[in-house]
Amino acid sequence: MECFSFITKEGSLMPKGILTDKQVEKLIELGPDIIAGLECNLNDTGLPCRTDRLYAVDKMIKYVKLHGYKVEEKDFIARKYK
């Protein structure tokens, strides 16, 4: 019996652990952007500045959506970085 992890946008079941080549390429592209957004320490507090954090969150949303998760986006994030 095959294990299914999520339903695609088209409504079909996606086998667990399977991503298309295009999805993998997008993950590879998003990863460094997420890391870069969290590395900013301009204020020397250990907490990335707000703009960089929100940029990283926007990229994380895209990252998890590629894995089939449904994410509710806040308008100010979606508007700012699309």
pLDDT single digits (tens) 24-78: 899 999 999 999 989 888 778 888 888 888 899 999 999 999 988 888 877 655 4
What DSSP character marks residue 44? Answer: S
The answer to whether 71 touches 63, Cβ cutoff 8 Å, is: no
Contact (CB, 8 A) for 16 and 4: yes
pLDDT tens per residue across span 2-18: 444 555 556 655 555 67
In a 3-state reduction of DSSP, which class is residue 73?
coil
Indicate the domain borders of the chain: 19-81
pTM of the model: 0.65
- As a whole number of angstroms, the distance between CA 39 and CA 52 comes to 8
More confident residue, 74 or 21: 21
* DSSP 8-state secondary structure symbol assigned to residue 45: S
